[in-house]
Amino acid sequence: MIYRESGQFKTTYKADQAILPIFQDKVAMGLLMFFAFVIIPFIADDYWLSSILIPFLALSLAALGLNVLTGYAGQISLGTAAFMAVGAFAAYNLQVRVPEVPFLIAFIWGGLCSASIGILFGLPSLRIKGFYLAVATLAAQFFIEWLLTNFGWFTNYDSSGVITAPPLGIFGFAIDNPLSKYLLVLTIVVLCAFAVRNLARSEIGRAWMAVRDMDIAAEAIGINLMKTKLLAFGVSSFLCGLAGALWAYIVLGTVEPQAFDIMRSFEILFMVVIGGLGSVSGAFLGAGFMILLPILLNNLGSIVTGSAISTETIAHIEFMVFGAFIIFFLIVEPKGLARLWQIAKEKLRLWPFPY
Amino acid sequence: MSRDFSSLDTFPKILRNNAVIFKGKPSVREKEFGIWQTLSWDDFYKRAIILASGLRDSGLKRGEKIAIIGDNRPNLYLSIAAAQILGAIPVPCYQDSVADELKYILEHAEVKIAIVENQEQVDKLLEIKTKLPLLKSIYFDDPRGLEEYKEEEVKALDEILLKNIDLDINLDEDIDKTSKDDISIMLYTSGTTGRPKGVLLSYYNIISVTSVACELEGTSSNDEVVAYLPMAWVGDNIFCVAQSYISGFCINCPESRDTLTIDMREIGPTYYFAPPRVWEGMLTQLMVRMQDASKIKLWAFNYFMRVAKKWGNDILDKKKVPLFYRLLYGLGYFLVYGPLKNNLGLTRVRIAYTAGEAMGPDTFLFYRSLGINLKVLYGQTEASVFVSLHRNGDVDPKTVGPVFPGVDVKIEKGEVFYKGPGVFKGYYKNEQATKETIDEKGWVKTGDAGVIDNNGHLKIIDRAKDVGKLNSGKMFAPKYLENKLKFCGIIKEAVAFGDNKDFVSCFINIDLEAVASWAERNNIAYSGYIDLAGQSSVYDLIAKEIEKVNEDLAQDKELNDSQIKRFLILHKELDADDGELTRTNKVRRNLISERYGKLIDALYSSENHCYIETEVTFEDGRKGSISADLKIQDMKIIDLEDKVA
Amino acid sequence: MDWWFFIEVFVGGLLSGVMYSLVALGFVLIFKASGVFNFAQGAMVLFAALTFVRLLEMGVPALLTMAITIGVMILLAIFIERVMLRPLVNQDLIILFMATIGLNYFIEGFAQLIWGSHVGVLDLGVDQYAAFEIGNALINKFDVWAALIAGSLVLVLSLFFRFTVIGRALRAVADDHQAALSVGIPLSTIWVYVWSTAGIVALVAGVVWGSKLGVQFAISTVALKAIPVLIIGGFTSVPGAIIGGLIVGCGEKLAEVYLGTYIGYGIENWFPYMLALIVLMIRPEGLFGEKIIERV
Amino acid sequence: MNVNAKNNKSAKLEVLMDIKDISLSFGGLKALQNVNLHIQKGEILAIIGPNGAGKSSMLNVISGIYIPQKGVVEWKGKLRKKIAPHDIARMGIARTFQNIALFRGMSALENILTGRNILMKRNLFLEALYLGMGRKQEEEHRQKAEEIIDFLEIQSIRKTPVARLPYGLQKRVELGRALALEPELLLLDEPMAGMNVEEKEDMCRFILDVNEQFGTTIVLIEHDMGVVMDISDRVAVLDYGIKIADGTPDEVRSEQKVIDAYLGAG
């Protein structure tokens, strides 16, 4: 009912193909950005920033990456965490070997390395589909995890096999407090989301979706499946790698390869499934959901039982709830929260009419 | 900004001026290839000039006629402008008229050049070409399917437009030559009887009336109007062409017939004209759609519609309304009215007119209660439309409003006469008809029976010649009855009989969409129109409505004898293609009463059913015949005297 | 090179391979019957083992425990069919696959929630480290023992498939679902059967693994070991699962021992996957699997 | 008007594709045996025949998905080698599928735009930033796609997800997607299958218009003779993998073998 599209007519394709063609959406997005960049810095305390918002953003980025692969190009992957790891360790190593490199370059380098590894492990996707491919990505998961653990070179021969991110700074400003870190991550993530949205509505995005929806037809209209799939793997792993770098540098600071184990891969996959396959907003909704649910459970638990429950129990309940939600969403709405949101929006646009 | 139209006394002159003062502002938009392709006033002028010079090259001279046939398309509006620049007279024709209807008009108007929309129209003209020796060239706008045409007189409009596109032509002389008494346009009225007559309207007629109208409603270059009504109909020429010339606002042409609603919604016109049937259609549709809404929505809808019904009009007329109800209405606006208007594309409507037929008070008030300033207008082609018009804050659904500024109206023997600056120059090549219509003092005969009520509003009852007498000697106004019937929403058309009869009876056409959805809701199975129309449950449904009408009539001393005693539901929809309706969908009474004589006799016999076979014309022109055995139902007459006694 | 040592490693590999096959069997059963790749098999192993060991800890006699646990696994199967499979029937297989990942989480959480996550000790009366010598090669008793169990289980299964109505029905389903219906057993029932059987297999696997590693969360990850086994052996063949297991088993042991020195140890985590990957590229349907027909 | 169209078509006799004595078999089953067929530029050629007559195999040979074991296929006078499926489109051959193969996740417009993909340049960065040529080409090709939408009269469903469209319209969108490639040769696999009469009439009209306005060569395979006969310039009849007739509709109609084949097929 808030949508009043009458009178919003388009006289150019530029306007009609704008990223947010409807005025009300532009406003909404504007408000959201204002809130994220201006309001939050004022209202959020360090706890919120460093243990909720920053992780949320970093994981959203990873989910965004996986969504490119699974949601848009229809190629399932269980190796997300591995690609994150590659990003993190590549960025770290570049800075260790060449200290004068600014961290942003290092991050991008991390992304690029991750992308190339992603493409490498994407090669099987040309012959195999579905969970066969999932297995291939699992191979990546275990192999990379092992590689980083067993070869000291990657951790710069750290005795305890961990990497410690060097302090961040940009143009002389030290990025050391939660707020500045938050703003940094936010900027990076927003830019990436914007880029993915653009790809999705461009020639590349259509190629991806064509491959996802009907690969035979896609070939018949001249889409090169190999290039398209590998590009998806590349872009996806680039984003995951970047996310990994953020995770290592800003969220954790000190990382061991096990921080990127298969559990993390599943976590990201869940975010995408719950959030919504094939939509940018889905990545964020999913991540938000996965981050907030445990906190919610915790508080609920303590309210119900009066006393705080053992973290173990919480963890187990978490497992169950996540699992249940995955199944629920796959049954009820495979396109996830994002789709639900979309339906609500449709309803609002038609209101009060049912159709 | 109002200009002095004593110097700018013809459309070409105004257009030339617009090209300067409205430079860069949109004059025409067309939704094509998915976006609204816009033509600014200066482009429009430039193209008009190019087209004009092209037409002159192909031999078009002052005073000659040029036919315009097709849906509302920028290039067709352009053609009108071009013709006027050359001092030629544009003759728009109904795009859906069949070949021989066109033949009559093109022959009668001695048309030399026809500018048409598409293949469909070209084919029609080629069909009758041999009978039209004068017709030299046919220009088409949309080349689709016409590449292979070999006929030399068939040419693409683009040929002209593109040929001279970049050389700059000056036709100022021709434009200056045009004078206020030149014929601006010739419109054929699809008269309810006989052959169509060519109404000649001068620049003076149109401009003088239209400028007043614009003044009255304060139209400006920021207004938006959607052009969807036939170009051959006077309304389109006044509300779209003339007023956009004078106020400089933009005409928007929809993409195609089946996208009209979407396009309406996108544009959101600020100035909207629609005949009652369109408004009613919209309302029926809306109600049908609401039927399957969820409980809560439906409740909210019904509740707030009640609120609107109670307070909406007063708020619209700026009357005093308790604060609480203002707030409630505001809430309703957010939840229901606003979204509704938005869905119908009426959010931005400032000025809304209806005319041509009487409109159901309920429908009328429904739209007003939504905050849409809907007003009734009474007019005629012969008057350049405006005879009377509701004023803001002084609206009465039962009337057609106070007389229009500058127009005089008198009632003689119950019939309405008017005179004013808009009065037409006469019928083309039809002196005698002209004489019959305008007397030497300039009074024009409307042929409508009406009265002026005590707040100075004109009230139209019926066509004067249709007003007859029952054998009881009481007045019989069929149109009045028919409209009353049609207001109920499930009756699409009705034809009442009773002149020189003992009682009133009528034919009914059910509104398929409305009745069908009713049938679905009451899960009544039916195979098609004929079947549905024949169902006794439908008969009962209609009978209920007629009963309401009868009760209402019983109140009125003059009309209480006009209560409907018997009726039947026709087995086919009355159709313009079969000549039963005019192109503007007015009932052709005589034709119907001769074609269905058998049924009428049955109505006045003791029969309770009647077999009939009728010939019909399908969309594609093929002829066929359908037959049915129609049931006749009796109604009981309410007599108040009895009740009193 | 020391051949006795090689034999020792080789046999050790074969024996541990049998253990993988044990888990893989569960996958194969379900995949054969419903085309679903049941990622939750690992969780089912954990669940079965936990139930079993906790009941023992409560002092319930072994046989009764066995019976109860089997009952529980059957209930689980019914639950899964009702809640997950039925609504997702004739959905995209990849959707079902992801659903089983969800299921995996659910069961893992559930199992540990009710049974607690402390390590359960399961003693089958066989000494973990006792070994006997063949020539100069040390063979681990326990492994042999486990291999025997696995072997007998395979035997039982194949008998079950061959000589019982249900068994034949299941085989029929494997071929095509219509056939199954013609046997006169509704698909949902068949699924319950399959998942129950898989559950029982999981129990056996759980007990064996549990007694080897101790009953704890870790044993659910043996499922991850089983996946390459399946790829290599083919998803649809029981013998495939066995042989796949053997290949993976000795493959990784040999690699660990002989490659490890050069590229570092702990490679058994990924080595099977690399093997699987190679098989996939050459023969996507696996060594023993039926050809996957692609619609053109 | 149609008539003149046909006339000036039979004027040009340039052969677009020449299929010489090909045989194709899967394992034991012989799908095609010693079939000769040439496709003339600008014609509408219908390949008909009872079920299992090898129509689809023929279409796949033409489109290059199948490589016949025996015989050669010449494309514009040159021998055609084995090509990757996605290069067929670049050769100027587009096709529709018997059971609709639209991209269900996209709108009608997006489906048609996807058909333009091979005519677009790929630039990851510009597309990611939606800048410069990344945006320009989207707008240019939108224009082209819109022309097709206009041509097929599907303006009203432009932005509707194809999954929601009725069968007939889906077929139309699929035709649109094929047209978007601006192909020289358009292969239609049972374009009228499962349509009602009006839908069939529309489809015929569009096929004829495509052929007339864009001069596209069209090869369509159909199961029933009915509609095809009216719109095609030439008809080839297959039966059990063998070509039993090839000629104008009238010639073919009167061919005894054909009548038998169809009676045989019941």
The DSSP code for C38 is -
Distance CA D206, CA D179 (A): 11
Q: Do A202 and D127 touch (CB under 8 A)?
A: yes
CA dist list (Å): C244 to B281, B571, C11, C24, C200:
72, 78, 15, 9, 21
The mean pLDDT of C147-165, rounded to a whole number, is 81
The mean pLDDT of B316-340, rounded to a whole number, is 90
CA angle C41, C45, C50 (to 5 degrees): 145
* pLDDT given for residue B543 in this prediction: 92
* pLDDT given for residue B393 in this prediction: 85
pLDDT exceeds cutoff 70 at B512: yes
Chain B hits for D146, Cβ within 8 Å: 33-34
Q: What pLDDT band is residue B644 in, cutting at 50, 70 and 90?
A: very low
Q: In degrees to the nearest 10, what's the CA dihedral of C30, C31, C34, C38?
A: 70
The DSSP code for A165 is P
Distance CA C55, CA D107 (A): 57
Distance CA A26, CA A14 (A): 15
Question: Which residue would you say has higher pLDDT here, D63 or A118?
Answer: A118
pLDDT exceeds cutoff 60 at C292: no
Q: In chain C, pLDDT over 70 holds for what percent of residues?
A: 89
The side-by-side arrangement of strands in the sheet containing D29-40 is: D29-40, D15-26, D70-75, D78-79
The mean pLDDT of A247-268, rounded to a whole number, is 91
Q: What pLDDT band is residue B594 in, cutting at 50, 70 and 90?
A: confident
Q: Of the candidates B330, B340, B367, B366, which has an alpha carbon nearest to the alpha carbon of residue B351? A: B367
The DSSP code for B505 is E
* pLDDT given for residue B483 in this prediction: 83
In this complex, which of A217, A222, A223 lies closest to D97 when CB atoms are compared?
Answer: A217
Q: What pLDDT band is residue C255 in, cutting at 50, 70 and 90?
A: confident
Q: Which chains reach chain D with 3 or more Cβ–Cβ distances below 8 angstroms?
A: A, B
Helix (H) or strand (E) holding D260: helix D256-265
Instruction: Among A346-350, B206-210, C83-87, C93-97, name the most confident range.
Output: B206-210
Distance CA D139, CA D135 (A): 6
The mean pLDDT of A70-82, rounded to a whole number, is 92
* pLDDT given for residue C132 in this prediction: 76
| Structure token pair of residue D249 | 């509709």
In this complex, which of B35, B290, B301 lies closest to A11 when CB atoms are compared?
Answer: B35
Chain B hits for A7, Cβ within 8 Å: 224, 266-268, 347-348
Q: What pLDDT band is residue C179 in, cutting at 50, 70 and 90?
A: low
Chain A's closest residue to D118, CA to CA, is A222
Distance CA B594, CA A43 (A): 83
Distance CA C74, CA C192 (A): 8
Residue D90's identity, in one-letter code, is: R
What is chain D's Cα-based Rg?
19
Question: Which residue would you say has higher pLDDT here, B617 or A48?
Answer: A48
| Structure token pair of residue A127 | 């012959």
Q: Do D155 and B145 touch (CB under 8 A)?
A: no
The mean pLDDT of D221-234, rounded to a whole number, is 84
The mean pLDDT of D158-187, rounded to a whole number, is 93
| Structure token pair of residue A325 | 């939600």
Distance from CA of D108 to the nearest CA of A (A): 12
Give the residues across from B30 on adjacent strands: B37, B253
Which of B69-83, B141-155, B443-457, C145-159 shows the lowest per-residue confidence on average (mean pLDDT)?
C145-159
Chain C hits for A149, Cβ within 8 Å: 266
B145-179 confidence digits (pLDDT tens):
888 888 888 999 998 888 877 777 889 999 999 99
Q: In chain C, pLDDT over 90 holds for what percent of residues?
A: 15
pTM summary value: 0.85
Q: Do B339 and A9 touch (CB under 8 A)?
A: no
From chain A residues 16-75, the ones with a CB under 8 A of any chain C CB are none
Distance from CA of D108 to the nearest CA of B (A): 13
| Structure token pair of residue A78 | 């269980």
Instruction: Among A119-128, C156-165, D140-149, D235-244, name the most confident range.
Output: D140-149
| Structure token pair of residue B273 | 């004209």
All domains in chain B, ordered by first residue: 12-220+227-255 (3.40.50.12780), 276-421+444-462 (no CATH), 467-644 (3.30.300.30)
Residue B490's identity, in one-letter code, is: I
Contact between B256 and D155 under an 8 Å Cβ cutoff? The reply is: yes
Q: Where are the alpha helices (DSSP H) in chain A?
A: 13-16, 23-34, 40-43, 46-48, 54-66, 80-97, 103-122, 130-150, 178-200, 203-213, 215-220, 225-246, 262-275, 280-305, 311-332, 336-350
Which of B263-277, D159-173, D226-240 shows the lowest per-residue confidence on average (mean pLDDT)?
D226-240
Q: What pLDDT band is residue C11 in, cutting at 50, 70 and 90?
A: confident
Q: Do B266 and A5 touch (CB under 8 A)?
A: yes
Distance CA C292, CA A110 (A): 38
In this complex, which of A9, A13, A350 lies closest to B267 when CB atoms are compared?
Answer: A9
* ipTM here: 0.83
D95-141 confidence digits (pLDDT tens):
999 888 999 989 999 999 999 999 999 999 999 999 988 899 999 99
Q: Is A171 left (phi over 0), alpha (psi -120 to 50) or beta?
A: left
Contact between B190 and B148 under an 8 Å Cβ cutoff? The reply is: no
Contact between B360 and B284 under an 8 Å Cβ cutoff? The reply is: no
Q: Which of C59-68's residues contact partners 24+ apart within 8 Å by CB, and which partners?
A: C66/C203
- Cis before B143 (ω within 30): no
* pLDDT given for residue D9 in this prediction: 47
From chain D residues 106-125, the ones with a CB under 8 A of any chain A CB are 106, 110, 113-115, 117-118, 120, 122, 124
Judged by DSSP in three states, D141 sits in helix
Residue C103 near chain A (CB below 8 Å): yes
Cα–chain center distance at D197: 21
Distance CA D98, CA D145 (A): 23
Contact between B273 and B229 under an 8 Å Cβ cutoff? The reply is: yes
The DSSP code for A208 is H
What is chain C's Cα-based Rg?
19
Q: What pLDDT band is residue B378 in, cutting at 50, 70 and 90?
A: very high
Q: Which chains reach chain C with 3 or more Cβ–Cβ distances below 8 angstroms?
A: A
The mean pLDDT of A166-177, rounded to a whole number, is 80
From chain B residues 18-57, the ones with a CB under 8 A of any chain D CB are 32-34
Q: What pLDDT band is residue A1 in, cutting at 50, 70 and 90?
A: low
Q: Do A318 and C88 touch (CB under 8 A)?
A: no
Q: Of the candidates A107, A83, A81, A112, which has an alpha carbon nearest to the alpha carbon of residue A95? A: A107
Distance from CA of A1 to the nearest CA of B (A): 6
Distance CA B565, CA B570 (A): 16
Q: Do A330 and C277 touch (CB under 8 A)?
A: no
From chain B residues 148-187, the ones with a CB under 8 A of any chain D CB are 148-150
DSSP E strand boundaries for B420-522: 426-427, 444-452, 458-463, 468-469, 475-476, 491-497, 504-510
Q: Do D86 and A223 touch (CB under 8 A)?
A: yes
Q: What is chain A's length?
A: 355
Contact between B467 and B449 under an 8 Å Cβ cutoff? The reply is: yes
Distance CA A11, CA B38 (A): 7
Q: A35-350: which CATH topology?
A: ABC transporter involved in vitamin B12 uptake, BtuC (1.10.3470)
The string of DSSP codes covering A277-344 is TT-HHHHHHHHHHHHHHHHHHHHHHHHHHSSPPPHHHHHHHHHHHHHHHHHHHHHH-TTHHHHHHHHH
Judged by DSSP in three states, A173 sits in strand
Chain B hits for A354, Cβ within 8 Å: 289-290, 292-294, 297
Q: In chain B, pLDDT over 70 holds for what percent of residues?
A: 97
Instruction: Among B516-525, C13-22, D185-194, name the most confident range.
Output: D185-194
Q: What is chain B's length?
A: 645
pLDDT exceeds cutoff 70 at B192: no
pLDDT exceeds cutoff 60 at B586: yes
Query: Mean of the per-residue pLDDT values for chain C?
Result: 81
CA atoms within 13 Å, Cβ hemisphere of A227? 15
The DSSP code for B145 is T
Distance CA A109, CA C5 (A): 46
| Structure token pair of residue B147 | 């590449």
Question: Does chain B touch chain C (at least 3 C-beta pairs within 8 Å)?
Answer: no
* pLDDT given for residue A160 in this prediction: 80
Domains of chain C, by residue range, sit at: 8-282
Distance CA B515, CA C157 (A): 67
Chain D's closest residue to A219, CA to CA, is D86
pLDDT exceeds cutoff 70 at C35: yes
Distance CA D152, CA D176 (A): 7
Residue B78's identity, in one-letter code, is: L
Which of A112-121, B366-375, C116-125, D60-69 shows the lowest per-residue confidence on average (mean pLDDT)?
C116-125
CA angle B639, B640, B645 (to 5 degrees): 110
* pLDDT given for residue C176 in this prediction: 60
Chain D hits for B144, Cβ within 8 Å: 151
Chain D hits for A198, Cβ within 8 Å: 127-130, 134
Contact between C203 and C52 under an 8 Å Cβ cutoff? The reply is: yes
DSSP E strand boundaries for chain D: 15-26, 29-40, 44-48, 70-75, 78-79, 93-96, 185-189, 217-222, 234-239, 242-247
Distance CA B127, CA A134 (A): 68
The DSSP code for A124 is G
Helix (H) or strand (E) holding C48: helix C41-57
* pLDDT given for residue C185 in this prediction: 66
In this complex, which of A145, A315, A323 lies closest to C102 when CB atoms are compared?
Answer: A323
Distance CA A264, CA A244 (A): 11
pLDDT exceeds cutoff 80 at C133: no
The mean pLDDT of B18-47, rounded to a whole number, is 94
Task: Map C144-173 to HEC letters.
Answer: HHHHHHHHHHHHHHHHHHHHCHHHHHHHHH
| Structure token pair of residue D140 | 């240019």
Give the residues across from D23 on adjacent strands: D70
Contacts of A346 (CB under 8 A, 6+ apart): none
Q: Which CATH architecture has domain C8-282?
A: Orthogonal Bundle (1.10)
C98-109 confidence digits (pLDDT tens):
899 899 999 999
* pLDDT given for residue C178 in this prediction: 56
The mean pLDDT of D59-73, rounded to a whole number, is 87
Q: What pLDDT band is residue D5 in, cutting at 50, 70 and 90?
A: very low
Distance CA B75, CA B160 (A): 12
Distance CA B23, CA A312 (A): 74
Q: Do B265 and A5 touch (CB under 8 A)?
A: yes
* pLDDT given for residue D263 in this prediction: 61
Interface A:D, Cβ pairs < 8 A: 109
